[in-house]
Structure formats: structure tokens, C-alpha cells
Amino acid sequence: MQSGQACVTLHDMNKMISVLAATAASVVGLALLVPPMTANETDAQPDPRAMAPMPEVPEGAEVATLGAGCFWCVEPVYQQLEGVHSVTSGYMGGHVENPTYEIITTKLSGHVEVVHVVFDPETISYETVLDWFWRLHDPTQTDGQGADIGPQYMSTIFTHGDEQAKIAQASKEKVQPAFDKPIATTIRPATRFWPAENYHQNYYERNKHLNPYCRMITRKLEKLDLEP
């Protein structure tokens, strides 16, 4: 794993370049492959830079909000689990209203990159949601996740109510013996969830053949015996 401010700056710059390159490739590909849209069809397309809508929570469903590094890497894991209604990438825990990805990358807003998981507790329990959380990242890393360094990448469980807080703490204590180092994951009450920009949503599925960064996500999914 990388550490140090010089590595952080270089990695963040490379990641932003990858985003721009993948976005440009997507636009060019669409221009070549998709017939021109009518005015009404154009109006119906979401602005990729606009914030995604808040996810709907069906009656009886529950929500888990989890930070485990870059949300691009976490979203495709939960999308494959039976009982999960939706997974929305976004931001939580900061002190800035209406945060954008550019604001988050300054590392000054206090936000954590999270996935907002809406799930059916009759099909998948909160405990099982957390079991996957411990498996899909290294919760012992204290400065981020992998080469993604900074407070926005810290391992965090945002709990919705006292019951989730109790379950999260018990889950953390249960899995600690499986790790050689202390778990660094913080457990905090959930605050306002801000959905990230549209271009961050379903990012891996839309960009796995365009952005080299996604190769790491592919390896993660294969390691977890999920569909890459």
C-alpha cells in the first residue's frame, strides 16, 4: 500500500485524469454509435455532472450507509447481493452543504465517500450487509484504502438508529480476530446523505472497459467470487 503526500497527490491526479478520459471516451462512443436524439429525448437524459436523485426506500426496507474507500469499488459488490434494492454512491459526514466531487478531493470538507444501500431485511440482514463490508476492503488501514489516501476514504459505518449502532459494534468485535491489526473502522451516527454526481453512479458497469482504474475493481470482484 502507498503512503505519503507525494504519492497521494500523484494518485489523485491520475484518478481525475482517468475520470476525464473515460468520460470523453463515453461521449465519443455515444456520438458514433447512437443516432441523434430528438429534443424530447435529449431533455430526458440526466446531466452527468448533476447530483443523482435520492434513492427511494420501499416500505419495509432499511438503509445501510458505508464508507470503504472509493465508492466505485464498493458499489458493484452490493449491487450483486440478493435483497439489495439499490446502491447509490454519495457523501456523508462533512460540514459543507451540497458537496461536489471536486470539493471532496480537497480533503477539507469532512465528508466520506459512501454507498447508500437500500435493502430488504427479510432477504438480507444488516448483519450480512456488514459481513460483506468487512470482506470487501481492509478495515485496518488508518489513512484511507489502498492507494486512495485521505479522510474521504476512511473506513466508516454510519448507523441509522441505536439498533444499527449496537449491531455494528458487535460485528466489529466479532471479526477483529480475523485481522492481524486493530480495525480502524469508525462507527458514527448517520448525518445527511448527499448523492454524488450522476457520472459516479453505476460507475464500474459503465466504465470497466474504458477506465484502467476499474481493473482493480474487477480483481476485487473476482476475489469475492462475484461477477466482474
Could you give the residue numbers annotated as active site?
70
Dist CA 83 CA 136 (whole Å): 18
Nearest to 73 by CA among 125, 21, 126, 113: 113
Nearest to 204 by CA among 188, 193, 191, 217: 217
Yes or no: say if 196 and 89 are a contact pair by the CB < 8 Å rule. Answer: yes
Q: Looking at the chain, how many residues does it have?
A: 228
Residue identified by cell 446523505 is 193
Nearest to 148 by CA among 51, 71, 76: 71
Give the amino acid at 29: G
Q: Which cell numbers hold the place of 206?
A: 459503465
